[in-house]
Chains A and B, each alone.
Chain A
Amino acid sequence: MSLEAKRRIIFILGLLFLTSLVFVQWMEVTRKREEAGLSAAHVAVPASSKGCVDCHAENSPGIVAHWKGSTHAEKGVACFECHQAQQGEADAFSHYGQTIATVVTPMDCSRCHVTEGEEFAHSHHAKAANILASLDNLLAETVEGSREPFNPHSPTLGREMAAQVNGLASVNSGCQQCHGGRVALLDKDGKPVTNLDLKPGSDGKPTNAEALGRVARDAKGKPMLDSKTWPNTGIGRINLDGSLGSCAACHSRHDFSPRRARQPENCGKCHLGPDHPQEEIYNESKHGVAYRDLRDKMNLDAKDWVLGKDYSAAPTCATCHMSGNMRNGGKTTHDPGERISWTNRPPVSLVMDTDAQHGVVKEADPEKRRGLIVDTWQQKRQRMTDTCMHCHSPDYVNNFYKQYDDLVRLYNEKFGKPGLAIMAAMKKNGLLSEKDFDEKVEWSWYLIWHHEGRRARHGASMMAPDYTHWHGMFEVAERWYTEFIPEIREIIETAKKDGKKEAAEAAGKVVEEIMGRAEHKWPEEFKKGK
Chain B
Amino acid sequence: MSEETPQEDGQPTPPPSSPAGEPAPDNWLVGDSAPPAEIPAPAPANQADPEPAPAWNAPEPVAEAEPPALPEAIDRRSFLSRASSIAMGAGLVGSYGVFAAMAGRFLYPAHPPLKGWLFVIEVAAMKPGASLTYTAPDGATIAVARQGLTGQVGDFIALSSTCPHLGCKVHWEGQNQRFFCPCHNGAFDPSGKATAGPPKEAGQSLGRYPLRIDGGLLYIEVPLEGLPGPEEA
B74 in the interface (beta carbon within 8 A)? no
Nearest neighbor of B99 in chain A, beta-carbon distance = A21
Bound complex: CA A7 to CA B215 (Å): 68
Interface stretch among A72-80, A90-98, A150-158, A250-258?
A72-80
Nearest neighbor of B120 in chain A, beta-carbon distance = A76
Residues of A within 8 A of B125 (CB): 111
Please state if A18 and B94 are interface contacts (CB–CB under 8 Å).
Answer: yes
Residues of B within 8 A of A213 (CB): none
Bound complex: CA A306 to CA B84 (Å): 64
Bound complex: CA A269 to CA B118 (Å): 34
Residues of A within 8 A of B120 (CB): 76
Please state if A2 and B62 are interface contacts (CB–CB under 8 Å).
Answer: yes
B137 in the interface (beta carbon within 8 A)? yes
Closest Cβ–Cβ distance, residue B169 to chain A (whole Å): 15
Bound complex: CA A136 to CA B225 (Å): 54
B92 in the interface (beta carbon within 8 A)? yes
Please state if A46 and B91 are interface contacts (CB–CB under 8 Å).
Answer: no
B34 in the interface (beta carbon within 8 A)? no
- Residue contacts A-B, CB under 8 angstroms, 27 given: A4-B62, A4-B81, A8-B84, A8-B87, A10-B88, A10-B91, A10-B92, A11-B87, A11-B88, A11-B91, A14-B90, A14-B92, A18-B94, A21-B95, A21-B99, A41-B116, A42-B116, A44-B118, A47-B135, A47-B136, A50-B232, A75-B119, A76-B116, A76-B120, A76-B137, A77-B119, A111-B122
Please state if A7 and B116 are interface contacts (CB–CB under 8 Å).
Answer: no
Partner of A21, one of B98, B136, B137, B216: B98
Bound complex: CA A21 to CA B95 (Å): 8
Please state if A112 and B122 are interface contacts (CB–CB under 8 Å).
Answer: yes
Query: With A11-B90, A14-B88 in contact, do A3 and B60 touch (Cβ < 8 Å)?
Result: yes
Residues of B within 8 A of A77 (CB): 119
Residues of B within 8 A of A21 (CB): 95, 98-99, 102
Contact with A along B80-122 (1 / 0, CB 8 A): 1100110110111011101100100000000000101111101
Nearest neighbor of B85 in chain A, beta-carbon distance = A7
Bound complex: CA A105 to CA B87 (Å): 75
Contact with A along B131-149 (1 / 0, CB 8 A): 0001111010000000000
Please state if B137 and A46 are interface contacts (CB–CB under 8 Å).
Answer: yes
Residues of A within 8 A of B183 (CB): none
Bound complex: CA A2 to CA B59 (Å): 11
Residues of A within 8 A of B96 (CB): 17
A45 in the interface (beta carbon within 8 A)? yes
**Residue ranges of A at the interface with B (Cβ–Cβ < 8 Å):** 2-4, 7-8, 10-15, 17-18, 21-22, 24-25, 41-42, 44-48, 50, 74-77, 81, 111-112, 114
Closest 9 CB pairs of A and B: A14-B91, A76-B118, A47-B135, A44-B137, A44-B224, A17-B95, A7-B84, A11-B91, A11-B87
B217 in the interface (beta carbon within 8 A)? yes
Number of A-B pairs whose CB atoms are under 8 Å?
A: 94
Residues of A within 8 A of B117 (CB): 75-76
Nearest neighbor of B114 in chain A, beta-carbon distance = A42
Query: With A21-B102, A112-B217 in contact, do A44 and B84 touch (Cβ < 8 Å)?
Result: no
* Residue in B98, B117, B139, B232 with the greatest tally of chain A CB atoms within 10 Å: B98
Query: With A7-B85, A14-B88 in contact, do A75 and B118 touch (Cβ < 8 Å)?
Result: yes
Please state if A24 and B116 are interface contacts (CB–CB under 8 Å).
Answer: no
B180 in the interface (beta carbon within 8 A)? no
B contacts with A, residue count (CB < 8 A): 37
Closest Cβ–Cβ distance, residue A9 to chain B (whole Å): 9
Nearest neighbor of A12 in chain B, beta-carbon distance = B91
Please state if B91 and A15 are interface contacts (CB–CB under 8 Å).
Answer: yes
Nearest neighbor of A25 in chain B, beta-carbon distance = B102
Please state if B216 and A18 are interface contacts (CB–CB under 8 Å).
Answer: no
Q: Which residues of B in the span 65-88 have a Cβ within 8 Å of any Cβ on A?
A: 80-81, 84-85, 87-88
Closest Cβ–Cβ distance, residue B124 to chain A (whole Å): 8
Bound complex: CA A15 to CA B94 (Å): 8
Query: With A7-B84, A114-B216 in contact, do A14 and B62 touch (Cβ < 8 Å)?
Result: no
Closest Cβ–Cβ distance, residue B215 to chain A (whole Å): 7
Nearest neighbor of B93 in chain A, beta-carbon distance = A14
Nearest neighbor of A9 in chain B, beta-carbon distance = B88
Contact with A along B38-69 (1 / 0, CB 8 A): 00000000000000000000001010000000
Closest Cβ–Cβ distance, residue B71 to chain A (whole Å): 19
B219 in the interface (beta carbon within 8 A)? yes
Residues of A within 8 A of B94 (CB): 14-15, 18
Partner of B116, one of A8, A44, A48: A44
Closest Cβ–Cβ distance, residue A47 to chain B (whole Å): 3
Residues of B within 8 A of A2 (CB): 62
Bound complex: CA A46 to CA B117 (Å): 11
Given contacts A15-B95, A42-B116, 14 further A-B contacts (CB under 8 A): A2-B62, A4-B80, A7-B85, A7-B88, A8-B87, A10-B91, A14-B91, A21-B95, A45-B137, A75-B117, A76-B120, A111-B122, A112-B215, A112-B217
Residues of A within 8 A of B225 (CB): 42, 44
* Residue in A18, A45, A74 with the greatest tally of chain B CB atoms within 10 Å: A18
Please state if A18 and B95 are interface contacts (CB–CB under 8 Å).
Answer: yes
Please state if B92 and A76 are interface contacts (CB–CB under 8 Å).
Answer: no
Closest Cβ–Cβ distance, residue B44 to chain A (whole Å): 24
Please state if A76 and B119 are interface contacts (CB–CB under 8 Å).
Answer: yes
Contact with A along B189-226 (1 / 0, CB 8 A): 00000000000000000000000000111010000110
Closest Cβ–Cβ distance, residue A7 to chain B (whole Å): 4
Residues of A within 8 A of B136 (CB): 47
Bound complex: CA A2 to CA B62 (Å): 7
Residues of A within 8 A of B88 (CB): 7-8, 10-11, 14
Bound complex: CA A77 to CA B119 (Å): 6
Residues of A within 8 A of B84 (CB): 4, 7-8, 11
Closest Cβ–Cβ distance, residue B110 to chain A (whole Å): 10
Partner of B118, one of A4, A22, A46: A46
Residues of B within 8 A of A13 (CB): 91
Bound complex: CA A3 to CA B91 (Å): 16
Closest Cβ–Cβ distance, residue A109 to chain B (whole Å): 12
Residues of A within 8 A of B99 (CB): 17, 21
